[in-house]
Every structure is written in structure tokens, then in C-alpha cells.
A and B are shown apart, each in its own frame.
Chain A
Amino acid sequence: MKMYKPATLQETLSLLTELPAKKLLLAGGSDINILIKQDKITDENIIYINHLPELHGIDMCCTKLVIGAATTISEISHSGVIRQYCPFLADSLHDFASPLIAGFATLAGNIANSSPTADTVPLLLVLDARLVLKSLTTTRMLPLTEFYTGYKQTRLQDDELIIAVEIPLQYACRYKPQYIKIGSRTALTIAKAALAFVKYDNKFRIAAGSLNEYPRRLYSVEEYLSLHPDDYNDNDLLNALKKDITPITDFRSDKEYRLQVCFNYLQKFLKSTNSS
């Protein structure tokens, strides 16, 4: 392991361009230190970025919230701006790890670690979040829906850094998303299944975690429900769900349970939305 502490964002982007592969960015460290303990990190170049001011803070800019990449989970859940304009995100993040970890784990760290169970990703997917990706020569926006391409695979280029996450305010403000995380310990657990849901103008955004190789939108369910917002039937809904998720059996749970609990909460969210 070789450690770099660049003085500025510009220097960080230069390092990302110059250093050969097997490089890791260190911000909060809550994931990296577990990989080190498991001997899964040995000869990587590690670039420390947590001290860069450009990566911190929460702003409201016109019609969107802009959250710096290294902003911590508890900074987000306690932020006055987030509580006012996106209470769903603030409340849902209480299910993210324990207070002892939420105080230093970062938002973009959770996204970039690319775990199938990443807690923040289903929330951000239903909020239609975008990532701001920067390299030495380019800055681009990428919808979070397009970020993951497979298990631990993303469209982040080797020389790019996530510098911010943007959330458009129309979903955060006007509609009331719902969220459930299923796990074995309330305070701190890796999710067996997670489901985030929002209905707007008879359309739906629904996203699941721990049910595929990466957290993703449930497009078949969304499409079916947009055609049958009030007259859906359970069989067709279940069939659509089965097209969208590929739950597995592992030491944490089994695939039958994961499918059932996801379906149950989907029905529950639909009923509560239709009755309100």
C-alpha cells in the first residue's frame, strides 16, 4: 500500500491520471478498513481525499440539492436544508449503519463501493439522483440509474472522481417516497432486502437493494403499475417483480424470503399511496 495526500482537488485529479491501476480513494474509510482486515487490499495506491473542501457540504442550487461527495451520512440526515426539502432522505438515512459509523461514512463512498446492498442507492434512485464526475479534463453528469453495469462494476473511468451527488427537488419535495430496509439488527445491518418507492402523477419510481447484482430500478414493475395504477392484480404484479429481481440464497437470507418480503412491501406501499 502506498499513500498519497494531495494538497488540492486539482492535484488529486492529476494523481488519478498519472498513477497506474489498483488505486483506491480513501474518504471515511468504513469500507476500506474492512477490506484491509480481510487482506483484500495489499498493494493498492491509496489517495486520501477527505480533507478536500470541495467534496464537503450541502447546497440548494435552483431546483436541486447538491451534496458534496465526502459529506457524511449524519451530516446529511441532520442537515436543516435536507430536513426541509427532502425529509424522506434525512429520515431514511437513520437506517444507515449506527451513529458511530454514520458520523464518518460518506455518501459517495457508499455509492462508489458498489455493494449490491448499498443503503443510500435505492433512496437516491427513486429521487432521480445524478452524479457529478470530474477528471483532469472533463466534468460530466451521469444519472445514477446508469452508473452500475454489473457486480462491483461501474461507468466511473479510471481517472474520474465523484465530486457531488445532485437531487432534483421535484421528487424530493412534491411527492412522498417510502422506504423499507429489512435486516437482522435495527441499528446496524447489511440489508437482506431494501425497497424505495415513490408515486407521482400515476407514474412510479421503484428501486431495490440486495436483490440484484447492484441496486437498481424495477422497470417492469414501474411499467406495469403505470398502466394499471388503480387496477393492478397481485399475480401480474408478482410476475413483473420476478422479471426485475434476481434474489439469491446466502448466509444472510434466502431467495424465497427476499422475493416475498419485497412483494409484501410493494403491496403495502401501493395500498398506503392509494388510500392517501
Chain B
Amino acid sequence: MIIKFSLNGKNTSLDTDPMKRLLDILRENYNLLSVKESCGEGECGACTVLLNGLPVTSCLINIIQVDGGSVITAEGISETSLGKLIAASFTETNAVQCGFCFPGFLVTTYHYLQHDPDCDENKIKNALSGNICRCTGYQKIIEAVQLACRKLADQEHKHEDV
């Protein structure tokens, strides 16, 4: 089946088994290796991408569901100013250790800050609740998101001043 979709802002199409997982297509056909497989059952969030603007576990999405839609991976997000701001915040709070989970956290955090940039700890915990990290213990990750949130607010404040 021919599947057409937008990937990190560029239109693409491929002829493939429509039941193939989005995760495998992104890694094998497009070499987007930020998309990690860990549990393969939607529990860990390491394979998170944005599908039509929503963060989803790409291990549970068949490529047929992507036809006509848009996909953004951590690679695409890392090119944006918000993506760079989030990555810098994770670095500053030492929130990344082995790094395996980080692309997923980047995608989820990007979506959170785009839609509801609130520093409230509980809101952040809820937004990130589908992503698992086995190294850091989460406190530094929450601090990173709060830091990104404050930086974003400062930026908007400066824009208002201008």
C-alpha cells in the first residue's frame, strides 16, 4: 500500500506493508534513530513521536494510520528553537544520563510546552507520565522542564517589552 505523509516538515511517500509499525518505518526506512524501542508495548515512551501534533508511542501505531498525516520526531524538534531550549535545559540540570529515554522526553516536553507552558510540578508529572527513565529518578527531569518553562516565559516577557 502507498502511504503518503509529512515527516519532519517534508512530504514523503513509500510503498509498504500497511501494518508495519511506525517505529520500524522511521528507524529502518528513514534512519531516524532517535526513535528507540524498549518495551514495544506502549509502557515506556522511548519511541514517542508527534503524530498529527499529538505525542504517541510509535510502537503501537501502524503505518496505515499515518497516511495523509504528519509525523515529527526528536530529530525534527531538535532543529526548532523550542527544541534547542528544552535540550539546553535538560543539559543544565543534568537530567540526561544514559540518554536512551531522552528523545521521548524531548518530544513529550515539546508538546507540553507548546500547549500549556505551566511550571506546576503536578501538571508536568502528568504530561510526562507516559515516559519512563531508569537512570535519573525524575527529579532532575522535572527541574529541566520547569527551567525550560521559565526560560520560555522570560523570552515571551522580553518580546512583550519590545
Do chains A and B stick together as partners? yes
A29-B65, A101-B42, A104-B56 in contact; A5/B18 too (CB < 8 A)? yes
Count how many chain B residues have C-beta atoms less than 8 Å from C-beta atoms of the other chain.
Answer: 29
B12 CB to nearest chain A CB (Å): 19
Across the interface, do A29 and B55 meet the contact criterion of CB distance under 8 Å?
Answer: no
> Which residues of chain B from 103 to 119 have a CB within 8 Å of any chain A CB?
108
Interface residue? B76 (CB, 8 A): no
Across the interface, do A99 and B130 meet the contact criterion of CB distance under 8 Å?
Answer: yes
Q: Of B1, B21, B60, B129, which is within 8 A of A186 by CB?
A: B129
Across the interface, do B60 and A188 meet the contact criterion of CB distance under 8 Å?
Answer: no
Across the interface, do B18 and A30 meet the contact criterion of CB distance under 8 Å?
Answer: no
Interface residue? A62 (CB, 8 A): no
CA distance A71 to B36 in the complex (A): 28
CA distance A215 to B45 in the complex (A): 28
Segment at the interface with B among A11-19, A31-39, A112-120, A259-267: A31-39
Task: Specify which chain B residues have a CB less than 8 angstroms from the CB of A29 in the assembled complex.
Answer: 60-62, 65
Across the interface, do A98 and B56 meet the contact criterion of CB distance under 8 Å?
Answer: no
Across the interface, do B55 and A3 meet the contact criterion of CB distance under 8 Å?
Answer: no
A188-B129, A188-B130 in contact; A26/B56 too (CB < 8 A)? no
Task: Specify which chain A residues have a CB less than 8 angstroms from the CB of B89 in the assembled complex.
Answer: none
Task: Specify which chain B residues have a CB less than 8 angstroms from the CB of A51 in the assembled complex.
Answer: 67
Across the interface, do B108 and A100 meet the contact criterion of CB distance under 8 Å?
Answer: yes
In the complex formed, the residue of A with least CB distance to B111 is A99
Across the interface, do A104 and B61 meet the contact criterion of CB distance under 8 Å?
Answer: yes
A3-B19, A26-B64, A29-B65 in contact; A37/B40 too (CB < 8 A)? yes
CA distance A28 to B22 in the complex (A): 13
CA distance A29 to B127 in the complex (A): 22
Interface residue? A1 (CB, 8 A): yes
Interface residue? B146 (CB, 8 A): no
Across the interface, do A3 and B1 meet the contact criterion of CB distance under 8 Å?
Answer: yes
Across the interface, do B129 and A3 meet the contact criterion of CB distance under 8 Å?
Answer: no
Interface residue? B154 (CB, 8 A): no
CA distance A265 to B67 in the complex (A): 45
Interface residue? A182 (CB, 8 A): no
Across the interface, do A3 and B48 meet the contact criterion of CB distance under 8 Å?
Answer: no
A255 CB to nearest chain B CB (Å): 25
Across the interface, do B60 and A99 meet the contact criterion of CB distance under 8 Å?
Answer: no
Interface residue? A141 (CB, 8 A): no
Q: Of B43, B56, B62, B67, which is within 8 A of A103 by CB?
A: B56
B104 CB to nearest chain A CB (Å): 8
Q: Of B17, B59, B129, which is within 8 A of A33 by CB?
A: B59
Across the interface, do A103 and B55 meet the contact criterion of CB distance under 8 Å?
Answer: yes
Task: Specify which chain B residues have a CB less than 8 angstroms from the CB of A36 in the assembled complex.
Answer: 19
Across the interface, do B57 and A100 meet the contact criterion of CB distance under 8 Å?
Answer: yes
Interface residue? A270 (CB, 8 A): no
Q: Of A99, A103, A104, which is within 8 A of B126 by CB?
A: A99
A3-B64, A29-B65 in contact; A100/B1 too (CB < 8 A)? no
Pull 21 A–B residue pairs with CB atoms less than 8 Å apart, ordered by A: A5-B18, A28-B60, A29-B61, A30-B42, A30-B60, A33-B60, A33-B62, A34-B60, A37-B41, A98-B42, A99-B126, A100-B57, A100-B130, A101-B60, A103-B55, A103-B56, A104-B51, A104-B54, A104-B56, A104-B60, A188-B130
Q: Which residues of B contact A (CB under 8 A)?
A: 1, 17-19, 21, 40-43, 45, 48, 51, 54-57, 59-62, 64-65, 67, 108, 126-127, 129-131
